[in-house]
């Protein structure tokens, strides 16, 4: 079949100019490598850029599980019918989920999981006799997806929410715990965790009887794999408990090993009321997301008033079971932690004398270099320079991404220490070239 490479397909968040300048078509993936339609091979340093491909590409076991389930039974409705893979997957997640999260429903994308979690929170309050609660508090700089309710928790990192305003009402935003460029220009711990305290202020000013949930990523993507100070999440948990506000841990990126633990919230010693997960749940092999809730919530919600044709999809659930099986048998979460620590150390040591690198941080195989043209003022790195670094790396065979003012790395969990050693000199050369172009070095 003849087709024009750009004319019929609509890409997401890609401008006309970018399309005209030339867009990569990825045609093959194996392990940590992908290949484009011109035969160029790259190390995929961001697991498919949106970071789902935890396992790496091309695992036969996942293909087999998908094939077997299609031949067994390719579709079952989620309404008044159950299916074996979905029940098994819910039981498996109940074993590994954080805290008391014990019951699950499945959707196709992270956005839908966020949407369903917000609906579930509202239903919980409804059945509890608290029918007025509908507001959701999120954080400036957060990202929680593209759907109607999710848009109200989108934060301010992307222009996407602003373009679609006015969206669903009831979205409230507090500052993120982004200490490197603190919203209040304070320093932890002297700041008294003002960013967490802000949650209590906004609940009180908006009416505690109207606030349904707080949603946040344990480690936040918005500024480049940002971990809050250790006392942040306990403070948030306390405020939620005080006002009967449900705490949703959005594990869409963090979940299933990305941060070196099975779930990101495990780093912070608190238990969420709900989680959302997607991406590494199936390692990107097929679309699937999950909402997990405690029994306390599921028992209250007499009837989850929701119906989605592809909810609890048996083929996608079978894929997730195969993926989690490999994570466990091959100790992938531990690999993410160990190689992640090695990558973090290599980045901290290797970039410490580079004038454009402000802070190197991360957890597990999710590491970022926060970039700045001026280390003293911590000014944000212009997007054009970040893109130029990304392009330099691509020309040298590495796919990396810009996030906020940072360059972010999130390779598959099969990325090894030798791969770190091979990557570092290439990355340093890209940064030095850009510093030269910016006049930061001779
Ligand atoms: C934390 C978080 N929540 C939700 C989403 C939305 O997920 P999806 O793109 O699968 O709809 C994303 C996507 O990047 C995310 O990072």
Question: How high is the pLDDT of residue 20?
Answer: 84
Ligand 1 pocket residue status of 221, Cβ below 6 Å: yes
End position of a domain, from candidates 277, 311, 329: 329
Residues 227 and 316 in one domain: yes
Residues 260 and 387 in one domain: no
Ligand 1 pocket residue status of 220, Cβ below 6 Å: no
The verdict on residue 381 lying in a domain is yes
Ligand 1 pocket residue status of 354, Cβ below 6 Å: no
Residues 183 and 245 in one domain: yes
Residues 319 and 343 in one domain: no
Residues 152 and 269 in one domain: yes
Residues 210 and 233 in one domain: yes
End position of a domain, from candidates 282, 300, 329: 329
Q: Is 65 within 8 Å of 318 (Cβ atoms)?
A: yes
The verdict on residue 11 lying in a domain is no
Q: What is the pLDDT along the chain (442 residues), one digit of tens a residue?
A: 887 776 788 999 898 888 888 889 999 999 999 999 999 999 999 999 999 999 999 999 999 999 999 999 999 999 999 999 999 999 999 999 999 999 999 999 999 999 999 999 999 999 999 999 999 999 999 999 888 666 666 666 666 677 777 777 888 999 999 999 999 999 999 999 999 999 999 999 999 999 999 999 999 998 999 999 999 999 999 999 999 999 999 999 999 999 999 999 999 999 999 999 999 999 999 999 999 999 999 999 999 999 999 999 999 999 999 999 999 999 999 999 999 999 999 999 999 999 999 999 999 999 999 999 999 999 999 999 999 999 999 999 999 999 999 999 999 999 999 999 999 999 999 999 999 999 999 8
Q: Which of 111, 138, 139, 158 to mutate to test the pocket of ligand 1 (most atoms within 8 A of CB)?
A: 111
Residues 403 and 392 in one domain: yes
Residues 257 and 116 in one domain: yes
Residues 113 and 257 in one domain: yes
Question: How high is the pLDDT of residue 155?
Answer: 66
The verdict on residue 147 lying in a domain is yes
Residues 343 and 411 in one domain: yes
Q: Whose CA is nearest to atom 13 of ligand 1?
A: 145
Question: How high is the pLDDT of residue 393?
Answer: 98
| Total number of domains in the chain | 2
End position of a domain, from candidates 276, 294, 329: 329
Q: What is the CATH number of the domain that holds 168?
A: 3.40.640.10
Question: How high is the pLDDT of residue 7?
Answer: 76
Q: Which domain holds residue 284?
A: 73-329
Q: Which of 153, 176, 253, 287 to mutate to test the pocket of ligand 1 (most atoms within 8 A of CB)?
A: 253
How far apart are the CA of 276 and the centre of ligand 1, in A?
Answer: 9
């Amino acid at each position: 079949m003849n087709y024009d490479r750009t004319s019929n397909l609509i890409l997401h968040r890609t401008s006309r100019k970018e399309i005209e300048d030339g867009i990569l078509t990825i045609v093959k993936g194996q392990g940590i490598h992908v290949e484009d339609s011109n035969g160029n091979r790259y190390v995929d340093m961001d697991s498919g850029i949106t970071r789902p491909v935890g396992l790496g590409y091309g695992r036969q076991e996942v293909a087999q599980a998908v094939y077997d389930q299609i031949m067994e039974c390719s579709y079952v409705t989620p309404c008044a019918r159950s299916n074996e893979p979905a029940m098994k997957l819910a039981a498996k997640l109940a074993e590994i989920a954080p805290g008391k999260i014990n019951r699950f429903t499945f959707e196709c994308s992270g956005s839908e999981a966020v949407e369903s979690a917000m609906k579930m929170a509202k239903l919980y309050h409804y059945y509890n006799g608290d029918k007025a609660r509908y507001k959701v508090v999120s954080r400036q700089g957060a990202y929680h997806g593209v759907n109607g309710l999710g848009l109200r928790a989108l934060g301010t990192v992307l222009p996407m929410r602003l373009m679609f305003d006015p969206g669903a009402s009831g979205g409230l935003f507090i500052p993120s715990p982004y200490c490197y460029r603190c919203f209040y220009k304070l320093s932890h711990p002297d700041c008294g965790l003002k960013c967490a305290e802000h949650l209590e202020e906004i609940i009180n000013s908006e009416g505690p009887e109207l606030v349904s949930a707080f949603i946040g990523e344990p480690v936040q993507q918005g500024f480049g794999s940002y971990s809050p100070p250790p006392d942040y999440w306990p403070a948030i948990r306390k405020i939620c408990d005080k006002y009967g506000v449900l705490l949703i841990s959005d594990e869409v990126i963090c979940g299933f090993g990305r941060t070196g633990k099975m779930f990101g919230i495990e780093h912070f010693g608190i238990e969420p009321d709900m989680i959302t997960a997607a991406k590494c749940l199936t390692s990107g092999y097929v679309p699937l997301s999950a909402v997990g809730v405690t029994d306390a919530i599921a028992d209250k919600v007499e009837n989850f008033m929701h119906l989605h044709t592809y909810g609890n999809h048996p083929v996608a659930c079978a894929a997730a079971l195969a993926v989690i099986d490999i994570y466990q048998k091959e100790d992938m979460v531990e690999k993410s932690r160990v190689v992640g620590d090695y990558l973090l150390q290599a980045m901290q040591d290797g970039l410490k004398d580079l004038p454009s690198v402000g802070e190197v941080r991360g957890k597990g195989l999710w590491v970022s270099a926060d970039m700045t043209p001026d280390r003293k003022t911590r000014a944000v790195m212009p997007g054009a320079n970040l893109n130029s670094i990304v392009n330099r790396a691509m020309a040298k065979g590495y796919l990396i991404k810009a996030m906020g003012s940072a360059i972010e790395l999130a390779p598959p969990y099969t990325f090894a220490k030798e791969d770190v050693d091979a990557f570092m000199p290439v990355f340093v050369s890209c940064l030095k070239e850009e510093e030269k172009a910016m006049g930061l070095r001779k």
